[in-house]
Amino acid sequence: MTDTQRPTPPMPDQQQEQTPGRTAPMDPQPDHGEESYVGSGRLAGKAAIITGGDSGIGRAVAIAFAREGADVLISYLNEDEDARETGRWVEEAGRKAVLLAGDITDPAHCNEIVERAVQEFGRLDVLVNNAAYQMTYPSLEEISDEEWDKTFDTNIGAMFRITRAAVKHMKPGASIINTTSINADHPNPGLIAYASTKGAIQNFTGGLAQLLAEKGIRANCVAPGPIWTPLIPSTMPPEKVKNFGKQVPMKRPGQPVEVAVSYVMLASDEASYISGATIAVTGGSPII
């Protein structure tokens, strides 16, 4: 990746409607590894589910997994254009892409995601729980009960249900990777609902790693810092978008491809003794 592909604040003015955001209007465009990620067969023959796989980190992980040899089910809400683009990159890598739209706050859809993957691939080796919802609020009084519940249902409730459905299809050597956040350790007060779910995800993953160890199934977290995805211009106020990433030691947001390598490592057989871990991808902000 060249320096010109590493966006540095101030970012251009750009606001989108509320989440889910779209990739096409973003300036600069996120780098998902379309032209840069080179695989080496580390996930050859594996089958994976990626929730929120249409854009952002999810798209970068899907591209990386496909180039490492995995077939991918891309779960997403309703961003059909973005999902089709992700699927195109997976297929260009010579792997099978299955697109499945739906709301993961619906327990029946959580089960559908897993059943469809097993039906299409005949196996399930990797589950990436990546889909998330956030909105920025300056005070508790502005957060409604409905908003709080939606954030938890999307970010941790769905994760529990999809994982519960997936585990019965997973064999020893399988890997579950949950996307937490730097907010789990350094909560942003303007994202208090989102940050609370990310702390819950980290705790859930730590318990899960212990619970599944005897089955030979690993569970880990990736904790991104500020990453340049459609979630940013669609959920943050203009000033936050303009200065996005400026707060970390590297003084810039990360690109989705810069996060994807962590998921590849955790999904691979090379990580056979890593479980219960949190991998920080934060531009220099420590998680200790």
Give the residue numbers marked as catalytic.
194
Q: How far is CA 283 from CA 210, 221, 254, 262, in A?
A: 29, 17, 7, 14
Q: How far is CA 91 from the centre of its chain?
A: 20
What contacts 80, CB < 8 A, 6 or more positions away? 101
**How far apart are the C-alpha atoms of 161 and 167, rounded to whole Å?**
10
**Three-state secondary structure along 145-172?**
HHHHHHHHHHHHHHHHHHHHHHHCCCCC
Q: Are the C-beta atoms of residues 118 and 162 closer than 8 Å to each other?
A: no
Paired tokens of 140: 């508790």
Q: Give phi and psi for 128, each to the nearest 5.
A: -110, 105
Q: Are the C-beta atoms of residues 256 and 56 closer than 8 Å to each other?
A: yes
What contacts 114, CB < 8 A, 6 or more positions away? 49, 124, 162, 165, 166, 169
One-letter amino acid of 17: E
One-letter amino acid of 29: Q
Torsion sign, CA atoms 163, 169, 110, 176: positive
